[in-house]
């Protein structure tokens, strides 16, 4: 694929690193000094502005398949996309950093119609949405939903005494409609089978229909201790992510939000806009403030300051004060592993997620990759069973190892299959597999 | 303060006030009350002449209106209009204090009266009495801004000095003249609608127009000595209930809702919702208390609603002699006297938006005690109320209480009982009209000491202009740079 990247910042660099091995890449940035950074990658660097037709022409825009505008300025990104589209680019992706361009004219379609922007990506909003999904799932440390919300995917860390650790999976009698699709112990991820015996400290990924997942949630926590719905959420940092998250939570009656923001003027804006959230003016790392406001009694602490060190400090203080679930934003992707090492349950990166979603789309090919988990070690993708494929019971299907059919989508219904369920031509399958077996799985249905 | 400019603007308004006397003049001629007709003619001509003389104090157009001058124009206009309006009463034998009280009660939409013998006055004068309330209902300045093309300079300042709008209220037109015109068209339309409805309910044209004018203005004068009770008609009471409710509602909101079909505007409006809730709660409370006496259910509901609306909207009509009701019922009415109607309505009193802000401010202070570092802005309609507006509201209440205490003190010291003192003060300061005791709905203010009447006349003006406008003029610096020149 011929790809033009406009903007050689953090996002541009991460995209270039991920896409350079398999695609032709032109990187455009007005700052020639940036070129050094891209030098080790096998890409062509064009100095100049992405809003110049001449510069875009140097990047062979007329024959490009994809133009991604990811400079720090929304206006530049939009103009670059509009120009690229006019000059013949097949598809344009535009990074934005605010609501203005998405909703200013009827439902966000204006950008497509008037500016030729095929897809907009607002990383901070995506992160806020992801955090909101995790908050909504009690006990979970990651959450996704597929098939219009019918199927949910939750990740848990098992504590000692959790019913799931009592026996091998086959004899646990898990609720029908939910299936354990992955277990991670240390750094190795495995697809469990009937004999797998889960242990405390493992991370497990469970997939299933909404109703079954509720029953599943009750089986995760140690006996006699119910997972509590998040009722009290504390957000540290009222930037783009914190503000949007607060907006998402603000309208819910069952969640009370308090937010700590250091900048008083920003805080006043937040207090003016949010109807129910309690805005506290102060520093999220101010222990006195955290204690005075009894932050330790929160069900969830979300730390989304745009400074990794202060985020980590606020999160660790929260843990010290007794918050059970802590979600932290990480700006530098390199810090992700570090955060989890020191005991942060969930560390998420806004730009990382955005980059991932683009890579997923570019690399996915025919099979539609729905989610990438555990930093790319596992994937969920959607496969369509070919029409000439004979209907087979799942237990008789010799699927590649380290893969599992999580859900069968048939005529709009979501079926979480057991061994006896049959796979029929035309079914859409949500397949979970580790990175290594992804290609095997992809070719399995077409070759047999 | 440059007096020439104050005179110029006031005179411009007075000149047109003279024209208003044509209406009572015609009624007096039709009723063959020749003495009154001459009075109206003479007063009208005098107003025009006086206005013209004042207007000519300044001829060039190279001036701007200062804040203190805007305040002075509004206050002086009300005083002069009240004085001119008092002339016909005085010519009919009322004392100066009584005539001034009656006239001020008219233009401020209060409805408190010193009349003891209603039959003594002719139909022309009783018409003028009702009409004065109608002219003052939306504010005299607003009226003249709507009809005068000349008030281009300073019109906006004068409008917002006389009319307090809630912070962040929408629906206003860019030109203040269009806003005033829009309000007056609605006001006239509502008056005509009520006039027709009352005619259909069986009232004479004269009674119908007099009551239409004093309902929409939330005034409360009635040519009938027994107020609405005198007609003994359920239909009339229901009609007046409906229009009193509208008179107490924000007219800008009504314009959006009734004429542009934006029903959401009313439903979403904080003040309107609280207003409706207060009416509902007060009506239910009164109905329950009235049913404990031997009243029929239909009468209890109707009287409960009528009297709740009459007091809350500061109209002051009586469909029953509520001073004879039980203590519980009178308590409900007493509480309503301290609330008032909506901003931008014809109603007086402290106004509901201020009550909402005070309540929210107080509750947030409690929250702040628990969370000292929290940012807790007071909001109205989802928008933050600026600090200076909030401060003005607090100061308004402090002054309101202070004035209340002073007036009660004076009235009681000069011989009235405490119930009379308290309700006469709320009745005039809140522009309601009747109170309890000596100033009850079937009685009047005539028996009070002359000094009390003068104080209460001032209270009506101060209450109508929402306190701070008048009190700010009492500061010495408002007068220090007094000059007659206008440049």
| Partner-chain contact A272 B371, CB within 8 Å | no
List beta partners, residue A434.
A378
Q: Low-confidence residues of chain B, pLDDT below 70? A: 148-153, 166-172, 486-487
pLDDT over threshold 80, residue A264 = yes
- How close, in Å, is residue B273 to chain A by CA atoms? 18
| A280, closest residue in chain B (CA to CA) | B374
Query: pTM of the entire structure?
Result: 0.80
Most confident of the ranges A14-28, A379-393, B295-309: B295-309
Given this model, what pLDDT does residue A448 score? Answer: 52
Looking at CA atoms only, how far is residue B170 from chain A in angstroms?
A: 18
Q: Which residues of B touch A259 (CB under 8 A)?
A: none
Q: How far is CA A153 from CA A189, A209, A434, B27, in A?
A: 16, 9, 15, 83
Whether A228 shows a pLDDT value over 70: the answer reads: no
Are the beta carbons of B374 and A280 separated by less than 8 Å?
yes
**Is A317 in CB contact (< 8 Å) with chain B?**
no
> Under an 8 A CB cutoff, do A282 and B374 touch?
no
The pLDDT score that the predictor gives to residue A366 is 53
Query: Which chain A residues are within 8 Å of B374, Cβ to Cβ?
Result: 278-281
Least confident of A314-323, A379-388, B40-49, B196-205: A379-388
Q: What is the DSSP string of A329-349?
A: E-SSGGGHHHHHHTT-SEEE-
Query: Is the minimum CB–CB distance between A275 and chain B shorter than 8 Å?
Result: yes
Interface check B377 vs A, CB under 8 A = yes
Residue B379 to residue A267, Cβ atoms within 8 A: no
Q: Which of B270, B374, B378, B379 to mutate to test the interface with A (most CBs of A within 10 A)?
A: B374
* pLDDT for the residue B171: 58
CA distance A399 to A404: 8
Tell me, yes or no, if A268 comes closer than 8 A to chain B by beta carbon.
Answer: yes
Question: Residues near A238 by Cβ (< 8 Å), separated by ≥ 6?
Answer: A246, A259, A260, A261, A263, A266, A267, A270, A279
For chain A, give me the number of helices (H) and strands (E)?
15, 24
Q: Cα distance from A345 to chain B (closest Cα, Å)?
A: 28
Cβ distance B174 to B180 under 8 Å? Answer: no
Predicted confidence at residue B77, as pLDDT, reads 92
Query: For residue A428, is it left (φ>0), alpha (ψ between -120 and 50) or beta?
Result: beta
On the question of pLDDT at A104 being above 60, the answer is: no
Chain A interface disruption, residue of B369, B375, B376, B384, most A CBs within 10 A: B375
In this prediction, residue A348 carries a pLDDT of 84
Task: Give residue for tokens 């014809």.
Answer: B346
Rounded to a whole number, what is the distance in Å from the CA of A290 to chain B's nearest CA?
A: 11
pLDDT at res. B329: 92
The pLDDT score that the predictor gives to residue B197 is 96
Contact yes or no for A268 and B372 at CB 8 A: no
More confident residue, A41 or B156: A41
Q: Which residue is listed with tokens 């959230």?
A: A277
Query: Quick check: A314 pLDDT over 70?
Result: yes
Q: Mean pLDDT for chain A?
A: 83
* pLDDT for A279: 94
B268 touching A (Cβ < 8 Å): no
Residues of chain B with Cβ-Cβ distance to A270 below 8 Å are 375
Res. A408: pLDDT tops 80: yes
According to the model, what pLDDT value does residue B58 have? 79
Q: What is the pLDDT of residue A200?
A: 85
Q: Of A272, A289, A291, A295, which to mutate for an interface test with B (greatest number of B Cβ within 10 Å)?
A: A272
Model pLDDT, residue B168: 58
Quote the minimal CA–CA distance from B369 to chain A in Å. Answer: 12
Measured between CB atoms, does B382 come within 8 Å of chain A? Answer: yes
Across the interface, which of A268, A270, A282 has its CB nearest the CB of B373?
Answer: A282
ipTM of this complex prediction, to 2 decimal places: 0.73
**Does an H or E element contain A69, and which?**
strand A66-69
Task: For residue B376, give the nearest of A271, A275, A292 by CB distance.
Answer: A271
* Helix spans in A274-335 (H): 287-292, 308-321
- In chain A, residues with a C-beta closer than 8 Å to the C-beta of B383 are 272
| Residue in B371, B372, B377 closest to A272 by CB | B377
Provide, rounded to the nearest whole percent, the portion of chain A with pLDDT above 90: 20
DSSP string, B393-436: HHHHHHHHHHHHHHHHHHHHHTT--HHHHHHHHHHHHTT----S
Pairwise CA distance, residues B85 & B65, whole Å? 27
Interface of A with B in 286-305 (CB under 8 A): 289, 292-293
Q: Do B371 and A264 touch (CB under 8 A)?
A: no
Q: Which residue of B has its CA nearest to A272?
A: B384
| Residue of A272, A275, A278 lying closest to B374 (CB–CB) | A278
CB B77 within 8 A of CB B66: no
Q: What is residue A364's predicted lDDT score, i.e. its pLDDT? A: 61
d(CA B276, CA B282): 10
Inter-chain residue contact A270 with B373, CB threshold 8 Å: no
Q: What is the pLDDT of residue B309?
A: 95
pLDDT at A109 over 60: no
Q: Per-residue pLDDT for A209 more than 90? A: no
Partners of B373 on chain A (C-beta within 8 Å) are 280-282, 289, 292-293
- The residues in B 357-376 lying below 8 A from A, measured between CB atoms, are 371-376
Task: Please answer yes or no on whether B376 and A282 come within 8 Å at the CB atom.
Answer: no
Could you tell me where the DSSP H helices lie in B201-312? 205-216, 234-247, 251-254, 263-268, 270-291, 297-312
Does residue B250 contact residue B272 with C-beta atoms inside 8 Å? yes
B375/A268 touch (CB, cutoff 8 Å), yes or no: yes
Q: CA-CA distances (angstroms) from residue A331 to A72, A155, A327? A: 15, 22, 13
Interval A397-422 mean pLDDT: 82
- Considering CB atoms only, which of A264, A270, A280 is closest to B371? A280
- Tell me how close the Cα of A214 comes to any Cα of chain B, in angstroms: 36
SS3 for B390? helix
The domains of chain A, with CATH numbers, are 2-121 (3.40.50.720), 143-220 (3.30.70.1450), 232-353 (3.40.50.720), 363-447 (3.30.70.1450)
Whether B386 has its CB under 8 Å from any CB of chain A: the answer is no
Q: Is the pLDDT of residue A135 over 70?
A: yes
Closest among B79, B68, B14, B136 to B469, alpha carbons compared = B68
Q: Which of A49-58, A84-93, B205-214, B254-263 has the lowest mean pLDDT?
A: B254-263
For the record, the structure tokens of A176 come out as 């029908």
Candidates A272, A275, A280; nearest CB to B373: A280
Which one of B371, B374, B384 has the shortest CB-CB distance to A272?
Answer: B384
Quote the pLDDT of residue B339: 94
Judge: A271–B375 Cβ closer than 8 Å, yes or no: yes
């Amino acid at each position: 694929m011929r790809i033009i990247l406009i903007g050689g910042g953090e996002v541009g660099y991460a995209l270039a690193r991920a896409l350079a091995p398999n695609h032709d890449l032109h990187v455009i940035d007005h700052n020639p000094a940036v070129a050094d950074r891209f030098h080790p990658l096998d890409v062509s660097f064009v100095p100049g502005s992405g809003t110049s037709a001449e510069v875009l022409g140097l990047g062979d825009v007329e024959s490009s398949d994809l133009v991604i505008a990811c400079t720090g300025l929304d206006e530049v990104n939009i103009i670059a996309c509009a120009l690229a589209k006019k000059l013949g680019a097949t598809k344009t992706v535009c990074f934005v950093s605010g609501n203005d361009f998405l909703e200013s004219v009827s439902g966000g379609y204006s950008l497509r119609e008037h500016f030729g922007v095929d897809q907009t990506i607002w990383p901070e909003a995506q992160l806020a949405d992801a955090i909101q999904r995790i908050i909504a799932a009690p006990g979970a440390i990651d959450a996704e939903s597929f098939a219009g919300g019918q199927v949910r995917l939750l990740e848990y860390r098992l504590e000692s005494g959790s019913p799931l650790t009592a026996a091998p999976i086959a004899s646990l009698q898990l609720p029908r409609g939910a299936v354990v699709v992955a277990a991670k112990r240390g750094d190795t991820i495995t697809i469990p089978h009937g004999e797998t015996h889960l242990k405390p400290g493992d991370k497990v990924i469970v997939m299933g229909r909404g109703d079954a997942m509720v029953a599943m949630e009750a089986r995760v926590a140690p006996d006699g201790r119910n997972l509590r719905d998040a009722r009290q959420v504390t957000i540290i940092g009222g930037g783009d992510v914190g503000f949007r998250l607060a907006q998402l939570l603000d309208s819910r009656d069952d969640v009370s939000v308090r937010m700590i923001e250091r900048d008083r003027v920003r805080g006043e804006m937040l207090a003016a806009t949010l109807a129910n959230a309690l805005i506290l003016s102060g520093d999220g790392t101010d222990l006195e403030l955290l204690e005075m406001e009894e932050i330790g009694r929160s069900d969830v602490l979300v730390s989304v300051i745009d400074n990794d060190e202060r985020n980590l400090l606020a999160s660790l203080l929260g843990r010290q004060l007794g918050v059970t679930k802590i979600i932290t934003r990480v700006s530098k992707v390199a810090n992700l592993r570090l955060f989890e090492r020191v005991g942060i349950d969930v560390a998420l990166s806004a730009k990382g997620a955005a980059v991932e979603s683009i890579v997923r789309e570019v690399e996915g090919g025919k099979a539609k990759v729905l989610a990438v988990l555990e930093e790319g070690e596992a994937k969920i993708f959607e496969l369509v069973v070919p029409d000439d494929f004979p209907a087979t019971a799942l237990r008789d299907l010799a699927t590649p190892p380290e893969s599992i059919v999580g859900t069968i989508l048939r005529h709009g219904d979501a079926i979480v299959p057991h061994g006896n369920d049959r796979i029929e031509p035309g079914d859409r399958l949500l397949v979970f597999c580790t990175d290594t077996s992804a290609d095997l799985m992809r070719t399995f249905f077409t070759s047999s | 303060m440059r007096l020439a400019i104050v005179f110029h603007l006031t005179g411009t308004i007075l000149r047109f006030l003279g024209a208003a006397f044509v209406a009572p003049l015609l009624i007096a001629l039709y009723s063959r009350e020749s003495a009154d007709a001459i009075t109206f003619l003479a007063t009208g001509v005098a107003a025009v002449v006086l206005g013209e003389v004042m207007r000519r104090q300044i001829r060039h157009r190279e001036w701007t209106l200062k804040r203190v001058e805007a305040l002075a124009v509004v206050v002086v206009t009300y005083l002069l209009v009240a004085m001119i309006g008092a002339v016909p009463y005085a010519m009919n034998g009322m004392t100066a204090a009584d005539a001034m009280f009656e006239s001020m009660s008219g233009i401020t939409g209060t409805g408190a009266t010193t009349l003891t013998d209603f039959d003594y006055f002719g139909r022309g004068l009783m018409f003028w009495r009702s009409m004065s309330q109608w002219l003052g209902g939306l504010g005299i300045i607003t009226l003249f801004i709507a009809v005068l093309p000349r008030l281009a300079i300073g019109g906006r300042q004068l409008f917002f000095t006389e009319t307090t709008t809630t912070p962040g209220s929408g629906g206003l037109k860019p030109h203040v003249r269009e806003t005033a015109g829009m309000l007056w068209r609605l006001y006239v339309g509502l008056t005509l609608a009520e006039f027709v409805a009352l005619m259909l309910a069986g009232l004479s044209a004269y009674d119908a127009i007099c009551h239409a004018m004093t309902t929409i203005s939330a005034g409360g004068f009635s040519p009938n000595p027994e107020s609405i009770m005198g007609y003994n008609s359920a239909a009339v009471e229901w009609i007046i209930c409906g229009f009193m409710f509208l008179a107490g509602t924000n007219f800008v909101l009504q314009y959006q809702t009734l004429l542009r079909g934006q029903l959401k505007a009313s439903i979403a409006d904080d003040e309107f919702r609280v207003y409706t809730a207060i009416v509902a709660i007060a009506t239910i409370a009164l109905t329950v208390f009235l049913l404990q006496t031997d009243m029929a259910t239909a009468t209890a509901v109707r009287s409960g609603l009528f009297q709740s609306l009459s007091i809350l909207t500061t109209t002051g009509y009586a469909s029953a002699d509520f001073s004879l009701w039980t203590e519980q019922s009178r308590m409900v009415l007493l509480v309503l006297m301290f609330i008032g109607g909506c901003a931008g309505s014809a109603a007086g009193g402290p106004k509901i938006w201020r009550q909402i802000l005070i309540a929210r401010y107080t509750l947030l202070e409690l929250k702040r005690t628990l969370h000292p570092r929290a940012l807790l802005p007071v909001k109205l309609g989802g928008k933050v109320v600026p600090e200076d507006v909030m401060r003005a509201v607090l100061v308004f209440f402090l002054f309101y209480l202070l004035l209340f205490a002073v007036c009660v003190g004076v009235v009681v010291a000069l011989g009235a009982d405490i119930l009379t003192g308290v309700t006469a003060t709320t009745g005039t300061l809140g522009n309601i009209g009747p109170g309890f005791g000596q100033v009850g709905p079937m009685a009047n203010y005539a028996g009070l000491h002359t000094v009390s009447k003068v104080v209460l006349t001032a209270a009506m003006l101060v209450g109508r202009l929402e306190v701070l406008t008048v009190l700010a003029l009492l500061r010495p610096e408002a007068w220090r740079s007094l000059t007659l020149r206008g440049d």
